[in-house]
Amino acid sequence: MVTLDIVIVNWNSGLQLKDCLSSIIKTNKTGLSIDRVVVVDNNSQDESISSIIDLKKELPLEIIYNEENKGFGAACNQGALNSKADYLLFLNPDTMLFENSLINPLSFMEKPENKKIGIIGVQLLEEDGTVNRSCSKFPKAIHFVNKAFGLNRLAPNIFPTYKMETWDHNENRQVDQVLGAFFLVRRELFEKLNGFDERFFVYFEEVDFSYRAFKEGYYSYYLADAQVFHKGGGVSEQIKATRLFYSLRSRIQYSLKNHSLLNSIILIIVSLTVELFSRSCIAIAKGSLKQLKETLQGYSMLFSWLFSKVLKGGVN
C-alpha cells in the first residue's frame, strides 16, 4: 500500500478549495492510502476554510491556521513537516482531481526502473478542455531577456524562452520542471533537500526545488496519462500588481542564486528598463489605464525591494 500526504496552501480561494477537496474524496484510491490532507491557510479573509469543516468526516483533514501570509513555499514546508508518507503531493486549491489523477502517477513512480524520478507532474486541463502547456526548461537569464525584447515572438526557435510552449504536452517525457499546481515528490527527496527555499514568497520555488533535485541526480517527469483540472490564475487575479511584483522578484532571486552575477545584473537592468517600457506600451495600446496602473504599481514595489536590499548590502 503506497502512502500519500496531500498539502494544499489556501489564501482566499473561496469555494474552489471545497471543490478540490471533494475531488480527492471521489478519485480512485486503489492501492493507495492517503494518510493526511493538510490545508495550510495563509490568513484568509473569506469563508474558504469554514466551508470545508464538514469534509473532516470523509478525509483525514488537518488545517493549519497562519496569522499572516507566510508565502507559498513556507506554507508547503509547514504542511509537509513530520510527514511519514512515501510521497508528498503539493496541490493548488484551484485544481480538481479526476479518476486517474493519483493512481496513475503513483503507480508509475513505484516502478523499480523509475526510482530516479523524484518529481512528477500530470496533464493539466483548462476550463475549455485544452491542455495547459505547463512544462519548462530550467530558466536562464537570456530566456527572460529574449522575452523582454519580444525576440521570442519574432523568432522563437532562435530566441526561445524557458517555457516549452511549442510542445503539445500529449505524450509522456522527462522534463526539467513541471508546474507546481500538481507537484508530486518523493518524501525522502523533499526532506533531503530541506523542502522549498522559503526566500521565494511565491513563484519559482518549485523551479528552484526541481533544479536542486536535478543536481542531486533526480529528475522530473511529465505524465500525460493522468489528468487534473486546473483553473489557473486563481486568487492572484485579484491582486495583479502584487502578482507581477512577486513574479519579477522571484525570477531575480532565482537568477542570483543559480546564475552568474553578471547575468543577474543584466536581467535586473533589462527588467527595470526594457520590460517596464514594453509592458507599459502594451497597456497603453490596449487603452487599459487599469493595466498600466497595475504595471507601474508592481514595478514600484520591485524598485522599493531592490533599493532596500542594496542598502542592506545584497539582494539575495
Residue type, 86: D
Looking at residue 52, its pLDDT comes to 97
User: Where a domain ends, among 179, 200, 232?
Assistant: 232
Structural domain of residue 298, as residue ranges? 236-311
Phi, psi dihedral angles at 17 (to 5 degrees):
-60, -45
User: Where a domain ends, among 181, 212, 232?
Assistant: 232
256 and 228 inside one domain = no
For residues 312 and 305, what is the distance between their CA atoms, to the nearest angstrom? 11
In a domain, 38, yes or no: yes
In a domain, 139, yes or no: no
Q: CA-CA-CA-CA torsion for 204, 118, 190, 55, nearest 10 degrees?
A: 90
Largest CA-CA distance found in the chain, in angstroms, rounded: 57
In a domain, 22, yes or no: yes
240 and 228 inside one domain = no
In a domain, 204, yes or no: yes
79 and 185 inside one domain = yes
- Helix, strand or coil for residue 288? coil
Neighbours of 2 (CB within 10 A): 17
Looking at residue 311, its pLDDT comes to 65
In a domain, 150, yes or no: no
DSSP string of 255-273, one letter each residue: HHHHS-HHHHHHHHHHIII
Residue type, 191: E
CATH of the domain at 118: 3.90.550.10
| 15 exposure class (CB count in 10 Å sphere: 0-12, 13-18, 19+) | middle
- What's the total number of domains in the chain? 2
In a domain, 156, yes or no: no
For residues 22 and 18, what is the distance between their CA atoms, to the nearest angstrom? 6
246 and 307 inside one domain = yes
| Residue whose C-alpha is closest to residue 101's, from 233, 234, 231, 224 | 224
220 and 303 inside one domain = no
181 and 240 inside one domain = no
Please list the ranges in the chain whose pLDDT falls under 70: 233-238, 311-316
Looking at residue 236, its pLDDT comes to 53
212 and 105 inside one domain = yes
23 and 64 inside one domain = yes
For residues 246 and 51, what is the distance between their CA atoms, to the nearest angstrom? 29
125 and 261 inside one domain = no
217 and 272 inside one domain = no
82 and 117 inside one domain = yes
User: Where a domain ends, among 232, 265, 287?
Assistant: 232
Name every residue whose Cβ is closer than 8 Å to that of residue 269 and which is 6 or more positions away in sequence: none
In a domain, 158, yes or no: no
For residues 291 and 80, what is the distance between their CA atoms, to the nearest angstrom? 37
For residues 149 and 138, what is the distance between their CA atoms, to the nearest angstrom? 20
Answer yes or no: pTM beyond 0.85: yes
71 and 206 inside one domain = yes
In a domain, 159, yes or no: no
| Residue whose C-alpha is closest to residue 254's, from 90, 246, 272 | 246
